[in-house]
Structure 1
């Protein structure tokens, strides 16, 4: 099947307000089972449809909704537009037939979810199947069980379709929410299954849930969903055992998660925003539920690409302080500055206090109010605790020197010396040709003698030439700060052991060894103590690129229950991609962190050298950093 030149976007949006009543589903005591109708799910779908049309020009999404009408037990919509099991299954089949490799598919569900008794095809060992509830479930039709949803999604994935799932629905066991009052029914049991529940089902996944009251959409993403591999991106309205609410907003009932999701995406209509950034923003807006993102959280919303650098940080406001969830563990020093975004704020925040996992900046009352609704900040000036020395080739001229110094001061907070010549362990700029500049060393940072590889700095205008040079130097300065974390880590003996070895031969690699490109390596680690350790794996590449490889996301399973700790703020792009503007298609996030009263962290640095066979004599270093913290 041919690949499209331009990927096509497909969307299936389901909103179930009206649930039909029937006699087919009954309790053990032969009492009819019914699902309380909701009020905001159809509005959620309309809001999502409006955004997809405005942002992506998606004019023909598959939409299934049920709205109450004046006729008893009959919805407003035409039969073929209703969110019945048959129509949901049929929509997946049509999308599968139409989709091509490289296309994107967004599945969105707003409505009830429930824990149901497993059937014969359910994965072994499951006590319940979490399920999405179509409008006709109580009339004797099947539910969409989680493992069945997996089957449908996997078919698309095997067709090389990029998959995004959004769930503003309810499946936690037993809690009903009505406003702020929680009621838990006593002795409630999922209803017995019917023969139709077994028909045509084949095993491949899992699920679970409970019946919900009118203003409740509980959400519980269990491992049994199995829709959290690299193949998918899943956004859920809340954590396990939390409730996802709907409430009156702007005069209409809406799901809280969907409202803030769509509102944020509309505010950033022309920007690429990553899923993890969106979730961080929503978390800052709601208290009763904590949105979650699983799978490929780095990708931009409804895209197969990652937003470029820089990484936005979601802050909290505490009195007259802006609190950023990054600290010494992230290489932050007093004097570092962060810029608010978007317009019209653009106010610098200067850090006055740095702890292990967070830092603080003073703000005025007016800015505090703005930051509560616009909580993104970007790093604008990293702080130097010692003089940054730059040597400049005399042939570049005094004007270039002055321009470079001014531009560097806009990028680095601290003392900067620009002078003729160079010193050991400092940077040197050399003139190249008529309008170019080469950046040299220091070897302790770059890893080799001579010009920094991959850079092509040139411009006929001195101002632009100085700006491009300063961008590269500031990038290298920040990269050095990341490397220096190994010097600030605990000097106490670590209670863990790390081994990097060839994947096939299992021969251990020592720091400084050389391997060829595309070599498969195995990293293993062992906790030899009795303290819980939290493991982060960073790769520092030859392009001065920093990337967190493990955990792949900031999902709860990768961090302790007492705190969420992320090192993704350490991430940097390749040095040749460092001139990105926060206002133009950039995004990516930082997770919130909670201070641990007793924190020890270590860095184990393993450096390997990768060699290309095609270019004799050329080698590129790649440093792997392993960071652990214990509570």
Structure 2
């Protein structure tokens, strides 16, 4: 019998200049849905939030460790699910040493998790297992390499319901300005800054900076030279359902008296309105309709193989 495993992460960044209000609510909603609708064993769901009473904080190190544990347990046929609600950021191409800006999620300690980090993990997935990534964060459409965008942007106009929603986004420059004083380094040297602060748990894409700082003791994961990422995801290994396009904001707002991400709200509403099994493509089309009525500048997307587009969600 196939196993179902999940890692759920929500970051509200309380008492900061970029505080959010709905991410922990979204994690609780997703946890309930996994248990009741999709029959996940609660003991196989690892949850991390930055609630003051949370036992384990969603730092970059802790999130990657939880994902690694999940992938290490995976067997052929298993379903792995990662859900992240929080800020995203966009690393400029000239900083990332790539031909386009790089999307990243922002853990509670601002230790970015990038496309390269996800590729290192997902390429370990056993044959026949499935990885489902739901990302309610700005720029989330660029978080995993896939061969095909199954569902892209819909119609565009400027309408929205209620107050202007809050983007789940931290400008890259803001993160640098906050981290640099703690590391006593030039905030232009992002690679050195991240490696100095986070060591072996720094984003994989900044690995070229490690030898200069650690010499022969540089962590093995830092053997990535500039412009060279881990190989693209293996065919059919990953499904990304993103809250928005790679260049868009994924927003949150008050809905029915509680704060939620518009995308996360759309996921929950679409599933409640369709109690029967639903394919990934059918689900995302429904989510687009729901989110579009709330805020039409945000377009959830689906990235996966043709086969996975027509596979059942979870």
Task: Quickly name the TM-score band, shorter chain normalised.
Answer: 0.5 to 0.7
Q: Of the candidates 48, 61, 83, which is equivalent to residue 86 of structure 1? A: 61
1:144: Cα distance to partner? 0.9
Instruction: Map residues 398-437 of structure 1 onto 2, 5 A cutoff.
Output: none
Question: 1:545 aligns to what?
Answer: none
Matched, 1:152 2:121: yes
1:115: Cα distance to partner? 2.0
Question: 1:272 aligns to what?
Answer: 277
Higher RCO, Cα 8 Å, sep 6+: 2
User: How many angstroms apart in 1 are the aligned matches of 2:46 and 2:250?
Assistant: 24
Judging changes above 3 Å, is the alpha-carbon distance between structure 1 residues 206 and 150 closer, same or farther for their aligned structure 2 residues?
Answer: farther
1:186: Cα distance to partner? 11
1:240: Cα distance to partner? 3.5
User: What runs of 5+ residues in structure 1 fail to find an aligned partner?
Assistant: 1-5, 22-34, 68-74, 173-177, 208-223, 303-631
Question: 2:310 aligns to what?
Answer: 298
Q: Cα deviation per residue 1:392-439 (whole Å; 9 max; x = unaligned)?
A: xxxxxxxxxxxxxxxxxxxxxxxxxxxxxxxxxxxxxxxxxxxxxxxx
Superposition TM-score, scaled by structure 2 size: 0.68
Q: CA RMSD in A?
A: 3.6
Judging changes above 3 Å, is the alpha-carbon distance between structure 1 residues 134 and 225 closer, same or farther for their aligned structure 2 residues?
Answer: farther
Q: Cα deviation per residue 1:118-160 (whole Å; 9 max; x = unaligned)?
A: 799x6x53464321111012xxxx311121111112212x454
Question: 1:77 aligns to what?
Answer: 54
Instruction: Map residues 75-154 of structure 1 onto 2, 5 A cutoff.
Output: 75-78=52-55, 80=56, 82-116=57-91, 125-126=98-99, 128-137=101-110, 142-154=111-123
Matched, 1:13 2:11: no
User: How many angstroms apart in 1 are the aligned matches of 2:253 and 2:285?
Assistant: 21
1:93: Cα distance to partner? 2.2
Instruction: Map residues 41-60 of structure 1 onto 2, 5 A cutoff.
Output: 41-58=23-40, 59-60=42-43
Question: 2:256 aligns to what?
Answer: 250
* 3-state SS of paired residue (2:137): strand
User: How many angstroms apart in 2 are the aligned matches of 1:206 and 1:105?
Assistant: 30
Higher helix share goes to which structure?
Answer: 2
Superposition TM-score, scaled by structure 1 size: 0.35
User: How many angstroms apart in 2 are the aligned matches of 1:127 and 1:85?
Assistant: 23
* 3-state SS of paired residue (1:243): coil
Question: 1:171 aligns to what?
Answer: 139
User: How many angstroms apart in 2 are the aligned matches of 1:242 and 1:135?
Assistant: 21
1:203: Cα distance to partner? 6.6
Contact map agreement 1:279 1:293 (CA 8 A) in 2: yes
Matched, 1:282 2:266: no
* 3-state SS of paired residue (1:94): helix
Flag the structure with larger Rg: 1
Judging changes above 3 Å, is the alpha-carbon distance between structure 1 residues 246 and 227 closer, same or farther for their aligned structure 2 residues?
Answer: farther
* 3-state SS of paired residue (1:170): coil
* 3-state SS of paired residue (1:155): coil
1:275: Cα distance to partner? 1.1
Judging changes above 3 Å, is the alpha-carbon distance between structure 1 residues 256 and 94 closer, same or farther for their aligned structure 2 residues?
Answer: same
Question: 2:149 aligns to what?
Answer: none
User: What runs of 5+ residues in structure 2 fail to find an aligned partner?
Assistant: 141-162, 177-186, 211-218
User: How many angstroms apart in 2 are the aligned matches of 1:227 and 1:55?
Assistant: 29
Higher strand share goes to which structure?
Answer: 1
User: How many angstroms apart in 2 are the aligned matches of 1:8 and 1:186?
Assistant: 38
User: How many angstroms apart in 1 are the aligned matches of 2:243 and 2:64?
Assistant: 23
User: How many angstroms apart in 2 are the aligned matches of 1:135 and 1:256?
Assistant: 21
Judging changes above 3 Å, is the alpha-carbon distance between structure 1 residues 86 and 125 closer, same or farther for their aligned structure 2 residues?
Answer: closer
Mean alpha-carbon deviation: is it higher for 239-248 or for 143-152? 239-248
* 3-state SS of paired residue (2:250): strand
Q: Cα deviation per residue 1:176-234 (whole Å; 9 max; x = unaligned)?
A: xx82699x999958733213334544477999xxxxxxxxxxxxxxxx99569532111
Aligned residues: 246
Instruction: Map residues 423-572 of structure 1 onto 2, 5 A cutoff.
Output: none
User: How many angstroms apart in 2 are the aligned matches of 1:38 and 1:262?
Assistant: 19
Contact map agreement 1:39 1:254 (CA 8 A) in 2: yes
User: How many angstroms apart in 1 are the aligned matches of 2:226 and 2:83?
Assistant: 18
Contact map agreement 1:114 1:131 (CA 8 A) in 2: yes
Question: 1:386 aligns to what?
Answer: none
1:42: Cα distance to partner? 0.7
Q: Cα deviation per residue 1:437-467 (whole Å; 9 max; x = unaligned)?
A: xxxxxxxxxxxxxxxxxxxxxxxxxxxxxxx
